[in-house]
C-alpha cells in the first residue's frame, strides 16, 4: 500500500531528519576511506564523495518517490489564486490556476543548503539523479 504524504514540507522535513540520522555513521565510514586510500583511488571509486554512499542514495530515492506520489495526487488539484480586478487583468495572459506541484530536485537538493546547512556537502554530491525509466517510461 502506498502512503501519500500530506505536504511537501512534511516530506522535506522527514528527508532532512533521516539524512541527519545517517550522517555521523557515514562520516565515520568516510574518514576510514580517506585514511586508508589515496585521493586518486578515492576519486576513482567514489567520484561523488560521501554522497555516493548507497544509504544516502537509498534515502534520496525514497523521498524522490514520495514527492512523485504527492505530485501525482495533486495534479488535478489547483492552487486558487486571488481574484484580480479588471484593470490588473488587462493586457496579461492568464492561463488560470496552476496545479500543486513541487520539483523533486528543488525539495531534495536545491533547498537543503538554506534549510539544513549541515547537509550541504551531502546534497551537493548528488551530481546525478539516481532514478531511471523503464521500457514503459515509468520511473524506477
Whether 126 contacts 60, CB under 8 Å: yes
For residue 99, how many other CB atoms are within 10 A of its CB?
Answer: 11
- pTM of the complete model: 0.78
Strand ranges in the chain using DSSP code E only, listed in sequence order: 78-79, 98-99
pLDDT of amino acid 140: 75
Residue written as grid cell 548528488: 126
Rounded to 10 degrees, the C-alpha dihedral 60/17/116/24 comes to -90
- pLDDT, block means (10 residues), the chain with 140 residues: 78 96 96 94 92 95 93 73 68 56 91 96 86 76
Q: Which three cell numbers stand for residue 22?
A: 545517517
Whether 11 contacts 3, CB under 8 Å: no
Amino acid at each position: 500500500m502506498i502512503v501519500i504524504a500530506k505536504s511537501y514540507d512534511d516530506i522535506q522535513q522527514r528527508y532532512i531528519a533521516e539524512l541527519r540520522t545517517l550522517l555521523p555513521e557515514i562520516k565515520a565510514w568516510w574518514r576510514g576511506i580517506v585514511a586508508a586510500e589515496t585521493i586518486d583511488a578515492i576519486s576513482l571509486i567514489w567520484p561523488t564523495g560521501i554522497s555516493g554512499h548507497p544509504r544516502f542514495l537509498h534515502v534520496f530515492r525514497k523521498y524522490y518517490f514520495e514527492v512523485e506520489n504527492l505530485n501525482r495526487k495533486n495534479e488535478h488539484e489547483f492552487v486558487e489564486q486571488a481574484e484580480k480586478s479588471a484593470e490588473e487583468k488587462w493586457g496579461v495572459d492568464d492561463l488560470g490556476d496552476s496545479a500543486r506541484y513541487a520539483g523533486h530536485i528543488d525539495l531534495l537538493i536545491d533547498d537543503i543548503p538554506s534549510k539544513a546547512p549541515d547537509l550541504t556537502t551531502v546534497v551537493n554530491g548528488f551530481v546525478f539523479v539516481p532514478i531511471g525509466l523503464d521500457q514503459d517510461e515509468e520511473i524506477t
